Structures are given as structure tokens and as C-alpha cells.
Chain A
């Protein structure tokens, strides 16, 4: 009976581990709700094109709606609380820029970028951008990528 319990538990844990890898709060935003929404831009790149920029997943979202922007900021801040490394800048009590390095998902590194252009000093725009990146790229490689 012990052996049976061990087999079942092992299988359950494997399944749970597989499901837990995407456990970020921002994933709620990537459920397809913005694909047909006005004032929103969602980009999804995986596979060959993502590998060209050293990633396995590139997923971004830009919204102009104020309520949606607040939702995005809230979820980013929640995930940011669990980041292993972060660079953030707040302006007027609001998150302006954030670069978060999250816990690895299996072998891939995971990064979240956030930018609220409404808080920019030069030519502010009513756009909040969230980028989720996943891949083998290191933090330095990601920084090089955004400087290309």
C-alpha cells in the first residue's frame, strides 16, 4: 500500500509542478481578453522568431485605458514582490519603470518589464506597457537586447 501511495503522490506532484510553472499574476492579463480590445496591443512571439532574439517566449501588452493600466500595475507589483532581483522607479507614488527578474521556470529565466509612459517627463503618453520574457538569456543579455 505504501508503494501505491508513493506512486500516486509522485504523479500528483509532477502534474502540480507542471501546472505551477506559469504561476505569475500577470498571466491573468494574457488570457486573450485584450486581443479584440480597442486601445490595447498584445504581442505574442514564441518559437523561431523568439529564438532570434534569444528568448523562448515574448509576450507584451500595451493599454491606454486608465482602469486597465491600474490593473496591470497592481499585478506587476504583486509579482514584483516575489522577484529575485528588481530595478524599479516610482514617480508620484506610481510605478513608472520596473525590470524584474523572476524565479526560473524549469531551465528558463523569466523577466518582467513595466513602463508607464504617462509618468514620463519628456512627452508623456497615455500608454502602459508590460513585457514578459522567458528564455535562457541572462539579465545582462536582456539589457543588451533592449539596448540594440
Chain B
């Protein structure tokens, strides 16, 4: 409150308000009073009454509300950031779990096969079967094509 020449404490403000109502304040004191009512955090029946009378109540209240809103916004941003971090960690953990590590294993009739060569041989066998089936399909298609060609000759 050092900005004000005549007001350093809440009591001084209340005394100045009394003097204002009695018409004993100077122009400079009146300006300071208006300024102080708009800015200062003090609150009492006399001070709030003066604010109301002099039209600063709404301004003061809106200042307080603005400060409260700012604080709420900060709190919400903090909560949102925490949620975002938790979700981010969750997503990363999921992603990490789904990244394939080094695995080379087969289960045959309930028996575990862990020899890489054996497992790779089993894969080769599976792929050969697929190849034969794909070949059979291709052969069927080509013989169908040949038959149509012969028929057209």
C-alpha cells in the first residue's frame, strides 16, 4: 500500500472513507481513495459499502473472480497434463510390449521346440506346402486357359 500517500493500513482506509462521507477529503485524497478501493485487497463492511457506493464493487468482484478463474484454469491444466502423461506412459508401455523381441519357438503336440534350426525347418516345410497349393491353383488356371484356347482353335 506504499503507492498511496494517505493510506497505509486498512484502518487508515476506513478513516479516509469516513472523512470522505463527511466531505473532509481533498481532491488528491479522493483520487487515492478511489484508486485504493479499486485495487486493494482489504475488505470490511465500511470498505465494501464504500466500494458499492462508489461503483467499484463490481470491478473488485470481477477482479477476484478473474483471479479465481485463472487459478482454476491452472489447476485444470495440471490435472490434464497429469492425465496426458499417464495415458502417454500407458500407450508407450503397450507399444513396447507389442514390439517383437527375439523369439524362435514351436509347440508340437504340447512339446516345446527351441532349436532355431528345427523351428526354421518347420517353417520351410509349412511354406513348401503353401507353395504346392499355390502351384496347384496356378496349374489349374493355366490348364483352364489352355482348354479354352484349344476350344477356340
The chain A residues found within 8 Å of chain B, CB to CB, are 1, 3-4, 7-8, 10-12, 14-15, 18-19, 21-22, 34-50, 52-53, 56-58, 60, 62, 87, 89, 96-97, 99, 113, 115, 117, 120-121, 129, 131, 143, 145-148
Contacts and interface: CB of A to CB of B under 8 A. Distances in A.
A115 B133 contact: yes
A53 B81 CA distance: 43
Given A4-B80, A15-B87, A41 B137 contact: no
Given A47-B102, A49-B120, A62-B126, A146 B134 contact: yes
Interface residues of B, number: 42
B104 interface: yes
A16 to B, nearest CB: 9
B94 A40 contact: no
B77 interface: yes
Contacts of A129: 126, 129-130
Contacts of A115: 129-130, 133
A99 B134 contact: yes
B49 interface: no
Given A115-B130, A145-B127, A47 B109 contact: no
Nearest to A43: B106
Contacts of B123: 43, 45, 53, 58, 60
B107 A47 contact: no
Interface in B105-136: 105-110, 116, 119-120, 122-124, 126-131, 133-134, 136
A47 B101 contact: yes
Given A8-B87, A41-B106, A129-B126, 6 more contacts: A8-B84, A43-B122, A53-B123, A89-B133, A97-B137, A120-B133
Nearest to B102: A47
Nearest to A62: B126
Contact of B100 (A36, A39, A47, A97): A47
Contact of B137 (A11, A43, A89, A113): A89
B86 to A, nearest CB: 8
Given A4-B80, A43-B122, A131-B130, A38 B100 contact: no
Contact of A45 (B87, B119, B130): B119
B104 to A, nearest CB: 4
Contacts of B144: none
B103 interface: yes
A72 to B, nearest CB: 14
A147 B131 contact: yes
Given A43-B119, A49-B119, A146-B130, A7 B107 contact: no
B136 to A, nearest CB: 8
B91 interface: yes
Nearest to A47: B102
B145 interface: no
